[in-house]
């Protein structure tokens, strides 16, 4: 591995500034916040997926000596807070009043002196339920006799949420009508959970004297949360301070506002004391934002020799009981319409129907880049299925259809403008790194032995995936969440001695912003990163912006950091001109200083200029002094990272056990600010892919009982399931981003599941297996070999 020798003044490998506290156990996560007089909250959850609430008796709980308050939906209704808006213009119950609509739904909130007493008191609350039939299978949600889940919405007589489409249906149908080869496949991307190791929680502290509410919370979007609290609770926005301290992983799980946050706030207002609410693991898995749950039917049209012509997709999207997805308003299916992937198509069309079911709300989470994950999985499975039908090598089929470098900027059939790319180069590099021909030869020998009647002890599979992401939401004229445009601010102050403070609107859940954002400013100004403090995650201290998710920190806020540094640089130029008594136009910049053109010796460093800007140096008319600047970055387009992944697996045909032998990942995320951090993010996403492909699923039984409600049942990959990752890189800068960066936080999570699944199904090809849904557990693999793979999202029934 490459080691870090010394900190660069700008881009390059550099140890993280934040590590010093974490390796000493001195991070400050929400559950580490302890305020004087702090009380503890706990939530009573519904045991039923769908039931009428007949009555709630809280008297015994209220009589508990350590209980300070019991809050129910009725209490909240009195404050007009029983329902809150979701990020998708729906409503969600904070605490249920009329019905519970998923197992685990929040019913009551107890505030007590300690966390154990609060949970004791939950046992004392008597709720009488009248169970109702539950809608568990999304594919039955629109049946005429399906129970109506959202009867709270006036006039609602079904479980339909939205229909949405992208692309040209007529043109796509026309290509399909005359295509030589058409292949169709039902593909499920099952419901999974981001499962950050730190669960969600909040400490709310309402000061009755000042009227100020401070909320320490697990939020990936503190500014957006503040605005929503202001709109929901009617509190003035300047009297709300949201602090996202150190966050123990987010992955999209911490974008939304959960009932527990609101309850903690109400609890603090009611009791006049700070209230902490921290969910446990089961609460996290059962109630907070899940991901995926896309039931897709893909069709691909091609020529007999493997030229892909068109793709058509129908999606049934299970959004749970409340439409709580977090995505730009105009895009109810997120950026799923980037499903045309990395290929040169004549036409494409998708239609998406969202439905309510009796499951937890959510849908956009788990490093999904606003549904790009589902899109990449769909197209990469379809291409492999086409390869299967045409009996072609899947890498060769991809190479034949990849966009060529000269086609960029590329206008895809569903409306995106891909900014830049050299796809064949990335795929060739991945094939070289894995030794593609060699592994295929090994597999061929194995299959020949099988054909000769020798029972196989191991089935080797090779899976290829090529993905294109659309990240960095987004251009304000097209993209907003609850009316808030997706631009981000930055403020840069340079102190007289040349040390600096950068205040950013995005917030880190482990991405290392305190390091990389300092490096961005260092690159632009020549101030060493160690001399730059990065402040984030506190709405009182940072400019407005929409937060960290959808791989948007570097594409949007990173651009803001570069632009604000350039403003400072221009201010420094004016100061330099005054100090050196020359015209600003006669100055040239080299990293860290302005000098007089043609006289390199005559110049001033940025540190000297910072002091001069604060000094008595006479500045030109209209120049205020100081170097400080602010800016807001409104991206002109999304950025389009891409990559080529190849996975090699060994499958035991006797047990169905899959071992990931190798995983090669070539990523192109444009310019890399800190390659060490980029590689770390890719490693993490690759592990996600192994988890989703082989282990993770949130399934439900017929009554809507959650079958993955703890880490004993919801299986996450450990060091034993993950291979040693092999990375490669190409660099194709984004032409429209100030530093050419594209974002990488979710690339590997987007690209890797298909590579693993394609590898396993490639291994099973001798058995005639064309497709089986994730997760490819030993049971699923074994049943696929028997020719009867099952639906993984429902309780296993032996058919």
Instruction: Give the nearer residue to other proteins in terms of CB position, either 194 or 751.
Output: 194
Residue 4 binds other proteins, judged by CB under 8 A: yes
Residue 116 in contact with other proteins, rule: CB under 8 A? yes
- Whether the ω angle into residue 246 lies within 30 degrees of 0, i.e. cis, is no
Rounded to 5 degrees, φ, ψ at 758 are -60, -35
Q: Give 446-469 as a DSSP string.
A: HHHHHHTTPPPS-EEEEEEEEEE-
Largest CA distance in the chain: 91
Q: Are 51 and 131 in contact (CB under 8 A)?
A: yes
Q: Which stretch binds other proteins (CB under 8 A): 91-99, 112-120, 183-191, 439-447?
A: 112-120
Using rule CB under 8 A, residue 65 touches other proteins: no
| Shortest distance (Å) from residue 126 CB to other proteins | 23
CB of 277 to other proteins, least distance (A): 14
Residue with Cβ nearer other proteins (89 or 711): 711
Q: For 510, which DSSP code?
A: S
- For the window 698-717, what string marks contact with other proteins as x by the rule CB under 8 A? ------------xxx---x-
Q: What is the DSSP track for 55-95?
A: EEE-HHHHHSTTEEEEEEHHHHHHTT-SEEE-TTS-EEESS
What span, in angstroms and rounded, lies between the C-alpha atoms of 662 and 664?
Answer: 7
CB 595 → other proteins: shortest distance, Å? 31
Nearest to 659 by CA among 647, 671, 670, 673: 647
Where does this chain touch other proteins (CB under 8 A) — which range of 145-153, 183-191, 505-513, 581-589?
A: 505-513
The whole-angstrom distance between residue 647's C-alpha and the CA centroid of its chain comes to 23
Q: How far is the CB of 44 from other proteins (least distance, A)?
A: 18
Specify the stretch interacting with other proteins by CB under 8 A; choose among 156-164, 225-233, 256-264, 276-284: 276-284
Rounded Cα gap, residues 191 and 195, in angstroms: 12
The DSSP string of 419-443 is: ----HHHHHHHHHHHHTHHHHHHHH
Q: Which helix (H) or strand (E) holds 376?
A: helix 372-390
Rounded to a whole number of angstroms, the minimum distance from the CB of residue 773 to other proteins is 23
Q: Does 719 bind other proteins (CB under 8 A)?
A: yes
The residue (of 21 and 153) whose beta carbon lies closer to other proteins is: 21
- Residues 91 and 278: their CA atoms lie apart, in Å, by 23
Q: Which of residues 720-739 bind other proteins (CB under 8 A)?
A: 720, 722, 724-725
Compute the least distance from the CB of residue 584 to other proteins, in Å: 38
**Which of 463, 510, 545, 775 touches other proteins (CB under 8 A)?**
510
Q: Binding to other proteins by residue 435, rule CB under 8 A?
A: no
- Provide the mask over 222-251, with x wherever binding to other proteins is found by CB under 8 A and - wherever it is not: ------------------------xxxx-x
Shortest distance in whole angstroms from residue 424 CB to other proteins? 27
Count residues binding other proteins (CB under 8 A).
64
Question: Which tokens belong to 737?
Answer: 């981003």
Bridging pattern class, strands 275-278 and 39-45: parallel
Q: Among 16, 254, 337, 371, which residue interacts with other proteins (rule: CB under 8 A)?
A: 16
Interface region with other proteins, contact rule CB under 8 A, candidates 299-307, 376-384, 681-689, 787-795: 681-689
State the CB neighbour count (10 A cutoff) for residue 140: 13
DSSP bridge partners of 642:
468, 668
State in angstroms the smallest separation of the CB of 645 from other proteins.
Answer: 13
By CB under 8 A, residue 493 contacts other proteins: no
For residue 693, the tally of other CB atoms under 10 A from its CB is: 27
Report the residue number, 25 or 155, with the smaller CB distance to other proteins.
25
35: contact with other proteins by CB under 8 A: no
Examine residue 23 and tell whether it contacts other proteins (CB under 8 A): yes
Alpha-carbon gap, residue 169 to 314, rounded angstroms: 11
Residue of the chain from 58, 159, 289, 511 that contacts other proteins (CB under 8 A):
511
Look-up: residue for tokens 């439905």?
355
For position 34 contacting other proteins by CB under 8 A, the verdict is yes
Binding flag, residue 27, other proteins (CB under 8 A)? yes
* Cα distance between the two ends of the chain: 50
What's the CA gap between 691 and 163, in Å, rounded?
A: 31
123 lies in the binding site for other proteins (CB under 8 A): no
| Interface ranges with other proteins (CB under 8 A) | 1, 3-4, 15-16, 18-29, 31-32, 34, 114-116, 194-199, 246-249, 251, 278, 280-282, 509-512, 676-677, 679-688, 710-712, 716, 718-720, 722, 724-725
């Amino acid at each position: 591995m490459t080691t870090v020798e010394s900190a660069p003044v700008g881009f390059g490998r550099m140890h993280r500034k934040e590590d010093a506290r974490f390796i000493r156990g001195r991070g400050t996560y929400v559950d580490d916040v302890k305020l004087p007089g702090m009380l503890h909250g706990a939530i009573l959850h519904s045991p039923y997926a769908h039931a009428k609430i007949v009555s709630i008796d809280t008297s015994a709980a209220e009589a508990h000596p350590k209980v300070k308050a019991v809050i129910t939906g009725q209490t909240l209704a009195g404050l007009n807070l029983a329902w809150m808006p979701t990020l998708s213009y729906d409503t969600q119950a904070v605490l249920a009043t009329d019905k519970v609509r998923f197992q685990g739904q929040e019913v009551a909130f107890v505030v007590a002196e300690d966390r154990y007493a609060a949970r004791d008191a939950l046992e004392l609350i008597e709720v009488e339920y009248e169970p109702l039939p539950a809608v568990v299978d999304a594919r039955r949600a629109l049946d005429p006799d399906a129970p109506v889940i959202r009867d709270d919405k006036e006039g609602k007589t079904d479980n339909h949420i939205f229909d949405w489409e992208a692309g040209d249906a007529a043109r796509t149908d026309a290509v399909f009508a005359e295509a030589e080869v058409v292949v169709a496949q039902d593909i499920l991307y099952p419901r999974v959970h981001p499962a950050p190791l730190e669960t969600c929680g909040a400490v709310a502290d309402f000061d009755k004297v000042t009227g100020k509410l401070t909320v320490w919370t697990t939020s990936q979007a503190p500014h957006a949360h503040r605005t929503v609290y202001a709109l929901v609770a009617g509190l003035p926005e300047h009297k709300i301070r949201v602090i996202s301290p150190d966050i123990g992983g987010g992955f999209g799980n911490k974008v939304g506002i959960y009932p527990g946050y609101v309850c903690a706030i109400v609890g603090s207002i009611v009791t006049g004391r700070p209230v902490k609410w921290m969910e446990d693991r089961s609460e996290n898995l059962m109630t907070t934002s899940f991901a995926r749950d896309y039931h897709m039917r893909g069709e691909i049209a091609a020529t007999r020799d493997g030229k892909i012509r068109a793709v058509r997709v129908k999606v049934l999207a299970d959004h749970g009981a409340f439409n709580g997805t977090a995505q730009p308003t105009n895009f109810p299916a997120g950026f799923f319409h980037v499903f045309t992937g990395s290929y040169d198509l004549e036409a494409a069309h998708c239609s998406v129907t969202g439905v309510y079911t009796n499951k937890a709300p959510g849908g956009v989470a788990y490093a999904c880049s606003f549904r790009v994950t589902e899109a990449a999985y769909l197209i990469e499975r379809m291409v492999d299925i086409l390869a299967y039908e045409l009996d072609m090598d899947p890498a060769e089929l991809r190479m034949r259809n990849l966009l060529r470098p000269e086609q960029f900027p590329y206008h895809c059939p569903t409306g995106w403008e891909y900014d830049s790319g050299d796809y064949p180069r990335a795929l060739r590099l991945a094939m070289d790194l894995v030794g593609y021909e060699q592994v295929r030869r090994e597999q061929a020998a194995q299959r020949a032995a099988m054909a000769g009647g020798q029972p196989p002890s191991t089935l080797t599979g090779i899976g290829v995936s090529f993905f294109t992401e659309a990240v960095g939401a987004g251009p304000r004229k097209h993209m907003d969440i609850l009316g808030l445009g997706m631009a981000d601010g930055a403020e840069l102050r340079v102190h007289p001695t040349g040390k600096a403070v950068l205040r950013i609107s995005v917030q880190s859940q482990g991405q290392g912003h305190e390091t990389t954002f300092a490096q961005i400013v260092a690159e632009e100004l020549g101030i060493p990163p160690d001399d730059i403090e990065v402040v984030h995650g506190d709405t009182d201290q940072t400019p407005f912006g929409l937060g960290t998710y959808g791989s948007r920190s570097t594409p949007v806020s990173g651009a803001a950091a570069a632009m604000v540094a350039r403003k400072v640089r221009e201010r420094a130029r004016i100061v330099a001109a005054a100090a050196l008594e020359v015209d600003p136009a006669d100055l040239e910049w080299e990293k860290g200083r302005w000098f007089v053109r043609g006289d390199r010796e005559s110049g001033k460093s940025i540190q000297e200029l910072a002091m001069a800007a604060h000094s008595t140096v006479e500045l030109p008319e209209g120049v205020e002094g100081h170097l400080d600047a602010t800016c807001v970055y409104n991206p002109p387009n999304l950025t389009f990272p891409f990559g080529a992944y190849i996975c090699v697996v060994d499958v035991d045909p006797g047990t169905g056990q899959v071992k990931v032998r190798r995983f090669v990942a070539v990523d192109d995320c444009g310019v890399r600010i800190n390659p060490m951090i980029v590689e770390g993010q890719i490693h993490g996403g690759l592990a996600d892919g192994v988890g989703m492909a082989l282990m993770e699923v949130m399934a439900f039984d017929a009554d809507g009982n959650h079958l993955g409600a703890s880490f004993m049942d919801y299986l996450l990959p450990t060091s034993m399931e993950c291979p040693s990752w092999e990375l490669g890189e190409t660099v194709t800068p984004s032409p429209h981003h100030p530093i050419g960066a594209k974002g990488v936080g979710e690339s590997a999570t987007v690209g890797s599941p298909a590579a693993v699944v394609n590898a396993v199904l490639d291994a099973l090809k001798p058995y005639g297996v064309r497709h089986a849904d994730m997760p490819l557990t030993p049971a699923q693999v074994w049943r696929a070999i028997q020719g009867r793979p099952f639906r993984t999202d429902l309780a296993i029934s032996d058919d």
